[in-house]
Amino acid sequence: MLSEELIQELRSIVSHENLDINKASLLVYSYDATPQFQSMPDAVVSPRNTNEVSQVVRFCNKHHIPVVPRGSGTNLSAGTTPVEGGVVLLFKHMDQILDLDEENLTVTTQPGIITKDLIDVVESRGLFYPPDPSSMKISQIGGNINENSGGLRGLKYGVTRDYVLGLEIVLPNGEIIRTGGKLAKDVAGYDLTRLFVGSEGTLGIVTEATLKLIPKPETKKTILALYQDLDAAAKSVSAIIANRIVPATLEFLDQPTLQVVEDFAQIGLPTEVKAVLLIEQDGPPSVVAKDMDEIAKICREHKAVEVSVAKTEEEAEALTTARRAALSALARLKPTTILEDATVPRSEIAKMVKAIDEIAKKYDVTICTFGHAGDGNLHPTCLTDVRNKAEIVRVEKAFEEIFKYAIELGGTITGEHGVGAMKSDYLHLKVGKAGIEAMQQIKTALDPNNIMNPGKIFAKSERKRVVVTK
């Protein structure tokens, strides 16, 4: 709890209307999209500019008050849950595009803009900002940067990190620094830009970002390939890429996911097959046409039972939108939905999908699997009910086994959701004790009072994944 005196001081920085300690409001910001993590903040603060962010952070650092930057709370690793209380920072007053530079192909923006809004502005100029997390209709760019968000176009175009050229950052000591710029090349000292991208708000506050744009692809086409054999679908993925074709999107949905998505979206998805690949290629028309022919051929050679090209843009769009809705669709079925992002080298997808099925059976839990097959970034999604304590213990065990097997296959515990509070107990599996130590040394060096989003990334206790905090 913050004393009345501290609240007053905070209020004097951001003004009366930008500090909220109303119980109902605090409740709204006590959780994010991650099930089973909830913890009350002490105040919700909405600074109007970088200078105010700096003053707030300086104040919090002096008084050792946790600071939790928050976009739209679509986080799936409890990354924005204020697990140690403190101040939740909102960016509703810092949501403007500051500059769209067509000569340098950059956009400079404040963190609070909705990802899709930024994408729309950029595309209206014939330019392209590729990172497209499924939550892009509500997520904010600042959140995307803090989480290094991926998306459906990651295979060909990379992730958020690959498009961040420069940042304005408020450090834990309140100092404001600028990294990078409208520069394709910059090696002046350590790469603070990429260190901050994906640091989950634990090292400082991003108050401005300069993002790289590319020319918008001229056209795109979408293929749906149906399989009665999981393995065949997975092998098609590897074969396409081994044939030197890198599609913009290469998504995988298993039968249970298909069924649920079709019930939800009702666009005529096939629900009788074991797996579907949704493949999109973009680029110049001649290249897209050639790649699509080749992809269709490879899928058929790998035992696709049907391969169809979306006839219209609307049909293609409907398919992609349905895929993006997978989480929402699955979330309707059971009280608790736990969506994971175990990731493996793409050559290992078949093994991983099979293992997930076996592990689900072994622990008698329901896991649907879909995801970015081209990236090896799968989303095994467990439909469960947190009130069923016995089942939750089995869910825990199942996911632990899934993570361990992903690591065994050369993969990682998280491809795009971050570690947050949810997976900190598993980080050692991927980076080892020495890796965690190196990360902790960096954290302590930049944030000695541990005010920046404490309780994230680094495991603190024996706490298990699915536990309500506070």
Residues 281-300 that bind a second copy (CB under 8 A): 283-284, 286-287, 290
Q: Which of 58, 303, 430, 463 binds a second copy (CB under 8 A)?
A: 430
Mention every residue, 6+ apart, whose C-beta is less than 8 A from residue 229: 274, 275, 303
Which token pair is 259?
């069924």
Where does residue 302 rank: exposed (0-12), middle (13-18), buried (19+ CB within 10 A)? buried
Starting at the earlier edge strand, list the strands of the sheet with 275-283: 304-309, 219-227, 275-283, 249-254, 366-372, 377-384, 336-339
Write down the least CB distance from residue 376 to a second copy, Å: 7
Nearer to a second copy, 70 or 443 (CB): 443
**Alpha-carbon span 37 to 82, nearest angstrom:** 9
CA–CA gap between residue 318 and residue 320 (Å, rounded): 6
Q: Which secondary structure element, helix H or strand E, spans residue 397, and what is its range?
A: helix 389-408
Residues 14-33 within binding reach of a second copy (CB under 8 A): none
Least separation in angstroms between residue 356's CB and a second copy is 17
Of 42 and 340, the one with the shorter C-beta distance to a second copy is: 340
Name the β-bridge partners of 337: 383
Residues 441-460 that bind a second copy (CB under 8 A): 441-446, 457
Query: Three-class SS string for 129-163?
Result: CCCCCCCCCCCEHHHHHHHCCCCCCHHHHCCHHHH
Residue number with CB closer to a second copy (296 or 439): 439
CB of 310 to a second copy, least distance (A): 22
Task: Pick the stretch among 37-45, 68-76, 278-286, 318-326 that binds a second copy (CB under 8 A).
Answer: 278-286
Q: Which is nearer to a second copy, 245 or 368 (CB)?
A: 245
Residue 42 or 291 with smaller CB distance to a second copy = 291
Measured CA to CA, the distance from residue 375 to residue 155 in angstroms comes to 5
CB closer to a second copy out of 191 and 263 = 191
CB of 431 to a second copy, least distance (A): 6
Strands 275-283 and 67-69: unpaired
Cα separation, 345 vs 393, in Å, equals 29
Site string for a second copy, 343-382 (x = CB under 8 A): xxxxx------------------------x-xxxx-----
40-59: which residues touch a second copy (CB under 8 A)?
none
CB of 279 to a second copy, least distance (A): 16
Contact region with a second copy (CB under 8 A), list: 33-41, 330-338, 350-358, 426-434: 426-434
Of the pair 268, 435, the CB lying nearest a second copy is at 435
For the segment 82-111, give every residue that binds a second copy (CB under 8 A): 101-106
Q: Does 301 contact a second copy by CB under 8 A?
A: no
Q: Which of 415, 425, 452, 453 is the binder for a second copy (CB under 8 A)?
A: 415
- Give the interface size with a second copy as a residue count (CB under 8 A): 93
**Number of C-beta neighbours around residue 294 at 10 A:** 15
Residues 353 and 330: their CA atoms lie apart, in Å, by: 18
- Which residue's entry shows tokens 């101040």? 87
Which parts of 63-82 interact with a second copy (CB under 8 A)? none
Residues between 114 and 173 that touch a second copy (CB under 8 A): 126-127, 147-148, 150, 154-155, 158-159, 161-162, 171
Which residues 184-243 are close enough to bind a second copy by CB under 8 A? 184-192, 194-195, 197-199, 203, 214-216, 238, 241-242
C-beta separation of 159 from 196 below 8 A: no
Q: Are 398 and 359 in contact (CB under 8 A)?
A: yes
Which uninterrupted H or E stretch holds 429? helix 427-446
- Specify the residue, 175 or 385, whose C-beta has the smaller distance to a second copy: 175
Q: Give the amino acid at 378.
A: L
- Complex with a second copy: residue 213 or 398, whichever CB lies closer: 213
